[in-house]
Amino acid sequence: MLFLNKKRRVKNNQGFLLAELIVALFIFSLFVTISIGSIIGLLDANRKTQSLKSVMNNLNLALDSMTKEIAVGKDYDCDWEGEPTDCSFTSGGATTMSFISNEDIDGNPETEDRITYRFQVGSEGASGYIERRISTANGGLAIPMTSPEVNITNLSFFVDGTTPFTEGDYFQPRVVIWIDGVTIDRPRDVESSFHVQTSVTQRVPDNIVGDSL
């Protein structure tokens, strides 16, 4: 009886069968595949986050510069003709906005320097961007406000309150800026869209806007 029990115990300690090994390897491979897919997904999400962070930092810098200049400017115009005009939401806004700068850019206090922001479509294969143009008595200069990594697809300005205070408009001039764009996540070339909106109000009281800033 003791011999039979010992033999039975030896038989129970034998290795896995071939079928059991195949099942174990299949389960292990399935687990590894799922884990690798999750890791790749996390890496892509991290890369996308870093790309969007870089884009938003560039946009924030551009918007911060724009809003500061617009806030201390005057004679908001939905063009660059020089006449204050509204471009409301009902009219669809405008892709160009100009205003008289508070800063004496050309060093000639007798002339008013105008700054224009507008949406520019890049050449074939290039990104759209926001352009800043300075117009002075000495000529003009245009520079891009956003980097090539930021593809601006839409820039809209909505302006109201430009009618002078003396003509019965008691609202302070205000500008709403709307920006749409996309960024490309490398190296998988995945597009991520973004939408940014901000508003700025003219700091100079509307009833003295005709005077010197």
Q: Helix count (H) and strand count (E) of the chain?
A: 2, 8
Range ranked top by mean pLDDT from 30-39, 66-75, 89-98:
66-75
Mean pLDDT within 92-118: 84
How many CB atoms are located within 10 Å of the residue 34 CB? 10
CB 108 within 8 A of CB 126: no
Tokens 């939408």, residue located: 195
Distance CA(118)–CA(130), nearest Å, equals: 6
Average pLDDT, the chain: 79
Alpha carbon distances (Å) from 160 to 72, 109, 202? 16, 28, 11
Please say if the pLDDT value at position 93 is more than 50: yes
Please say if the pLDDT value at position 13 is more than 60: no
pLDDT tens column, 159-206 = 988 887 777 777 889 999 999 988 876 656 667 788 889 999 998 877
Q: Which residue has the higher pLDDT, 25 or 208?
A: 25
